[in-house]
Amino acid sequence: MAKLHLLLLAFIGTTVAYAQKTTTIWLDGLSIKSFSEGIPAVLPKTNAAGDSMRINRRYFNHGVGVNATSILAFYLDGKATEFSALAGVDDKGNRDLPHTFYVVADRKILFDSGEMRLGDAPKPVNVKLTGVKRLGLLVKVDDDGRTKVYSNWANAQLVMLGNHLPENIPNSDEKYILTPASPKTPRINSATVFGATPANPFLYTIAVTGDRPMQFSARDLPKGLSIDENTGIITGKVAERGRYKATVIAKNALGEATQKLTIKIGDTIALTPPIGWNGWNSWARTIDREKVIASADAMVKMGLRDHGWTYINIDDAWQGKRGGKFGAILPNEKFPRFREMVEYVHSLGLKVGVYSTPMITSYAGYIGGSSDVETGQVTDSIVANKRAFRYVGKYQFDANDAQQMADWGIDYLKYDWRIEVPSAERMSVALKKSGRDILYSISNSAPFANVNDWARLTNSYRTGPDIRDSWNSLFVSAFTLDKWAPYGGPGHWNDPDMMIVGNVTTGTQLHPSRLTPDEQYSHVSLFSLLAAPLLIGCPIEQLDAFTLNLLTNDEVIAIDQDPLGKSARLVINENGLQIWLKPLEDGSYAAGLFNVGDFGKTPESYFRWGDEKTKSFIVDFAKVGLKGKYRLRDVWRQKDLGPFTDSFKTDIRHHGVVLLRMFPEKQP
């Protein structure tokens, strides 16, 4: 009787399971951008250009249009039963490049389209997903930076159990903190070299941690400079060219710290990479005066200024009409009392940046630096049709805008467009004639073929597309920069874009970075090794303890700000290990050991499955070009590891890093 009862219960359970309600959802009904871990656009119901979705002359009203290599990742948690779609290259895509479509579930490839090209009929996709936890949709294209590489998941649908919806891949790994707290005694963290132009305004702030109050002083400053003893801000103007050796001093009740400071007065500014904050990935188009001031206040309150963070940069969306005494771009209604705002930020010892473009309209649809009419004005109809005016107009106003920036006291310009040399050169000349040192950063995707021009004309140049908070985007933006390394240096830095830590908005609403904690350590480590600009892209006042700790390790920052200005080079790339080696001014080396796994080598490797493992590696010194005995220091933990001869063995977490300082020891 008991056996019959158990069989009956089993039958009832099976019947209920089979009868469980399912819901079919269109992928284009989801917030699809939030599921994208690729770089270019992902759009619902259209191709990636925003046009009608069409494959082999057949139109589709439903689906997801993607561009180039595309990665869509979904957390299903066993709540889906089926995925279906028609996969194919969009009729407005690139004719020459083969695309391969994959459906990957819990590390298993369920669909492989083989190579598909423009004009091929769409291929039907229909895969069962019962019990699947994680689903990945991958389109693989070796686009080599080419544009209009459009393809589609047409009529894409998921069948879900009940009313469940797919979720984003969870990012719940422990936010482990490695860096010890700064001591209460003074410790100076400023860059040890600083460049300025003769007779231009000079602003340098001594960054120092330790208990307040703090008293500041300096010895052997060049004529024309003075230091505020309460703030450590050095201001003035130096008329004579030269190389000046000064000493800066910070003192509190517990002790005193000194640091040598080399001041170079000449033609080169930005002798170390810029380090600060940019507002786009925090606030995008909603940036305003109050948010800028709040960010500057937070830079001080959170202690970032004491670790050398300097710039407060306003991205696109501050621009209003053209006018004023210079006939220049003036701020819009969100930025009243603009000069007063700049002066306030300067009073904190920080610097201010703005955004512009040589195009008629900016990417966000605001007035740019050129026009097809002589007055330079941009009408409302032009703004409404901004995509049609993303080109350099007949009349350019570089000199007008540079003069206005200098008059306000601007310290940094982000100049953004599809970069070409003539526009880059016009603004470079205008800034140098403005009477103020304005760091000149051009964006985005600078053509490598013109790298010598970018190094000659600018202080930093974007080496790739806009970064997103995904491992794929970070890998493309930073782990592929070895060919650029010889061209960066003091005064002209390779720029892989803003930092993707903290809360960011990169095409979707503000959310915590999708990088795992391990990936964030790798991110900050590699940017520092590359001598890249360090520009935080998150709201500073929202920093949690983990992210603040990540951004305030002075030994990591010192690698980025090293006066030698050399970028690390990729010296090992095998068996899932990358080693980047950077020579430093004192004769030591910084070495980043990265566990990149097999990323990009298999369809499965593009996704995070939640079961990734730590791996052991042995570093052979001779294989990276070093021989003999080295004293090693773990930079993130600020801990000496001891002397090692010929090799070093360590465990590295998946997509994680071990960042070392390697000091050569004299041989007996």
CATH of the domain at 200: 2.60.40.10
Of residues 561 and 95, more confidence is placed in: 561
- Both 398 and 346 in one domain: the answer is yes
Q: Which residues are catalytic?
A: 416, 466
* Vertex 206: Cα angle to 301 and 192 (nearest 5): 130
- So what's the pLDDT on residue 326? 97
- So what's the pLDDT on residue 143? 81
Assigned domain for 340 exists? yes
- Both 372 and 480 in one domain: the answer is yes
User: Residue 668: pLDDT band by 50, 70, 90 thresholds?
Assistant: low
Which of 543, 567, 591 delimits the end of a domain? 567
- So what's the pLDDT on residue 384? 79
Question: In this model, does residue 383 exceed pLDDT 50?
Answer: yes
Assigned domain for 3 exists? no
Assigned domain for 6 exists? no
- Both 468 and 481 in one domain: the answer is yes
Alpha carbon distance 367, 377 (integer Å): 8
- Both 544 and 578 in one domain: the answer is no
- So what's the pLDDT on residue 17? 44
What is the per-residue pLDDT across 410-420, written as a single tens digit (0 to 9) for each?
999 999 999 99
Question: In this model, does residue 60 exceed pLDDT 90?
Answer: yes
Assigned domain for 177 exists? no
Assigned domain for 303 exists? yes
- So what's the pLDDT on residue 582? 98
Query: Cβ contacts of residue 114 below 8 Å, gap of 6+?
Result: 100
Question: In this model, does residue 15 exceed pLDDT 60?
Answer: no
User: Residue 12: pLDDT band by 50, 70, 90 thresholds?
Assistant: very low
* C-beta of residue 462 within 8 angstroms of C-beta of residue 495: yes
* C-beta of residue 656 within 8 angstroms of C-beta of residue 616: no
- Both 549 and 421 in one domain: the answer is yes
- So what's the pLDDT on residue 387? 80
Alpha carbon distance 436, 201 (integer Å): 6
- Both 525 and 457 in one domain: the answer is yes
- Both 562 and 581 in one domain: the answer is no
- Its sign, for the CA torsion 508, 512, 513, 515, is negative
- Both 294 and 363 in one domain: the answer is yes
- So what's the pLDDT on residue 580? 98
Question: In this model, does residue 436 exceed pLDDT 70?
Answer: yes
Assigned domain for 553 exists? yes
Can you read off the two tokens belonging to residue 264? 């170079």
Closest Cα partner for 589 from 656, 480, 663? 663
CATH of the domain at 586: 2.60.40.1180
- So what's the pLDDT on residue 16? 43
How high is the mean pLDDT of the chain? 94
Question: In this model, does residue 295 exceed pLDDT 90?
Answer: yes
**What is the signed CA dihedral for 146, 152, 153, 154, rounded to 10 degrees?**
180
Q: Are strands 657-664 and 629-634 parallel, antiparallel or unpaired?
A: antiparallel
What is the per-residue pLDDT across 384-432, written as a single tens digit (0 to 9) for each?
788 888 999 999 999 999 999 999 999 999 999 999 999 999 999 999 9
CATH of the domain at 116: 2.60.120.1060
Question: In this model, does residue 133 exceed pLDDT 60?
Answer: yes
Of residues 95 and 160, more confidence is placed in: 160
Burial pattern 144-168, b for ≥16 Cβ within 10 A else e, equals eeeebbbbbbbbbbbbbbeebebee
Alpha carbon distance 439, 410 (integer Å): 9
Question: In this model, does residue 20 exceed pLDDT 90?
Answer: no
Closest Cα partner for 550 from 446, 470, 657? 657
- Both 279 and 255 in one domain: the answer is no
Alpha carbon distance 458, 454 (integer Å): 6
Question: In this model, does residue 299 exceed pLDDT 80?
Answer: yes
- Both 357 and 470 in one domain: the answer is yes
Q: How many CB atoms lie within 10 A of CB 583?
A: 15
Q: Which whole-number Å values give the CA distances from 597 to 86, 569, 602, 604, 617, in the listed order? A: 31, 19, 11, 11, 12
Assigned domain for 146 exists? yes
- Both 308 and 450 in one domain: the answer is yes
- Proportion of the chain above pLDDT 90, given as a percent: 90
Question: What are the E-state strand segments in 357-473?
Answer: 370-371, 395-396, 412-416, 439-443, 460-462
Q: Which whole-number Å values give the CA distances from 509 to 286, 287, 402, in the listed order? A: 12, 14, 33
Alpha carbon distance 313, 352 (integer Å): 6
- So what's the pLDDT on residue 10? 44
Can you read off the two tokens belonging to residue 616? 């052991």
What is the per-residue pLDDT across 484-504, written as a single tens digit (0 to 9) for each?
999 999 999 999 999 999 999
Q: How many domains does the chain have?
A: 4
Query: Cβ contacts of residue 541 below 8 Å, gap of 6+?
Result: 294, 295, 298, 301, 302
Amino acid at 278: N
- So what's the pLDDT on residue 667? 66
Which of 520, 543, 567 delimits the end of a domain? 567
Assigned domain for 7 exists? no
What is the per-residue pLDDT across 235-259, written as a single tens digit (0 to 9) for each?
999 999 999 999 999 999 999 999 9
Query: Cβ contacts of residue 493 below 8 Å, gap of 6+?
Result: 270, 273, 274, 459, 460, 461, 531, 532, 533
What is the per-residue pLDDT across 535-546, written as a single tens digit (0 to 9) for each?
999 999 999 999
What is the per-residue pLDDT across 326-358, written as a single tens digit (0 to 9) for each?
999 999 999 999 999 999 999 999 999 999 999
- So what's the pLDDT on residue 11? 44
- Both 401 and 371 in one domain: the answer is yes
CATH of the domain at 483: 3.20.20.70
Which of 228, 245, 265 delimits the end of a domain? 265
Question: In this model, does residue 8 exceed pLDDT 90?
Answer: no
User: Residue 19: pLDDT band by 50, 70, 90 thresholds?
Assistant: low
Domain encompassing residue 646: 571-664
